[in-house]
């Protein structure tokens, strides 16, 4: 009798597993190294009204700043632009965290399990902002720490998958610049890529790009990490007093989005 019951249990579990895979046929997760699940964080990021409001607020304020700057300075077309980060600034990758319950910790895992899948959705307010910049005559550059040197076993590159995903989501952009993890000694440092936008210094050891643009003035930066902004480093910025002058650009050319899922802040000591 016990053997019969055990057989029924095994068959039942097998059927349930097949049903679960049928419901989510494309769910493939990277190996997890963390025992600390992110349920509450993921729940807030995916399902809270506050998250939607914060993104809309940041992009509304950014749009107002850009309109005001253009009205004040009357720049010639294609002499200025904006820079946006991609992950959790332009595209929402929380589908992966929701399905897998953890981060893709290695960069190659992120590229294979997240970037190549092209399932990420545009975040609230970003599409309208990129369209606005184009209407006003500016460039939109997307600068990300995604590994542009990654080539999936399917033959698709990280850059190709990123561009396709952005186009699917109707994000307007003029160029995409990714990190080069194979050659760069500091692939998390975006400053060389910012210099490519502002000064035309495209270094193949530091970055991988879709195309080059003429050097131009960047009037606004958008990101979810303090290191998405020129010359800011997490370790030093975290140590600044709350009322420091170093934060004065935020709201006036620098616009930060919420990301409680991951970031350079994770290396900070708890206080």
Tell me the per-residue pLDDT of 37-53, one tens digit each, with 9 for 90 and over. 688 999 999 999 999 99
Q: pLDDT confidence of 146, banded at 50, 70, 90?
A: very high
CA max distance for the chain: 85
Mean pLDDT, residues 69-80 = 98
Q: pLDDT confidence of 7, banded at 50, 70, 90?
A: very low
Tell how strand 207-209 and strand 175-179 pair up. antiparallel
Give the SS3 label for residue 177: strand
Mean pLDDT, residues 222-230 = 97
Residue identified by tokens 């004040």 is 72
pTM of the model: 0.87
- Of 65-74, 163-172, 236-245, the one with minimum mean pLDDT is 236-245
Mean pLDDT, residues 239-247 = 88
pLDDT at residue 5, as a whole number: 37
Return the H-helix or E-strand segment holding 158: helix 158-168
Each residue of 198-224: pLDDT tens digit?
999 999 999 999 999 999 999 999 999
d(CA 87, CA 93): 7
Q: Who wins on pLDDT, 127 or 110? A: 127
């Amino acid at each position: 009798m016990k053997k019969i019951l055990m057989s029924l249990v095994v068959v039942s579990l097998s059927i349930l597993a097949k049903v679960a895979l049928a419901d989510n046929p494309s769910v493939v997760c990277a190996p997890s190294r963390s025992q600390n699940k992110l349920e509450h964080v993921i729940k807030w990021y995916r399902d809270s009204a506050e998250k939607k409001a914060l993104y809309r607020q940041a992009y509304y304020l950014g749009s107002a700043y850009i309109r005001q700057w253009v009205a004040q300075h009357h720049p010639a077309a294609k002499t200025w632009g904006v820079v946006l980060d991609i992950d959790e600034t332009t595209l929402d990758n929380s589908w992966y965290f929701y399905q897998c319950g953890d981060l893709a910790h290695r960069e190659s895992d992120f590229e294979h399990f997240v970037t190549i899948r092209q399932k990420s959705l545009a975040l609230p307010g970003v599409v309208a902002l990129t369209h606005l910049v184009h209407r006003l005559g500016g460039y939109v550059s997307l600068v990300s720490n995604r590994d542009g040197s990654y080539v999936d076993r399917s033959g698709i590159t990280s850059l190709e998958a990123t561009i396709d995903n952005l186009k699917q989501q109707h994000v307007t952009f003029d160029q995409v610049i990714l990190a080069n993890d194979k050659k760069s000694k500091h692939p998390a440092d975006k400053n060389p890529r910012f210099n490519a936008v502002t000064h035309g210094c495209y270094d193949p050891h530091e970055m991988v790009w879709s195309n080059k643009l003429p050097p131009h003035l960047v009037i606004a930066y958008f990101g979810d990490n303090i290191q998405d902004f020129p010359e800011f480093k997490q370790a030093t910025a975290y140590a600044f007093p709350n009322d420091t002058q170093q934060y004065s650009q935020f709201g006036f050319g620098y616009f930060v989005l919420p990301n409680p899922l991951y970031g350079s802040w994770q290396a900070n000591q708890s206080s």
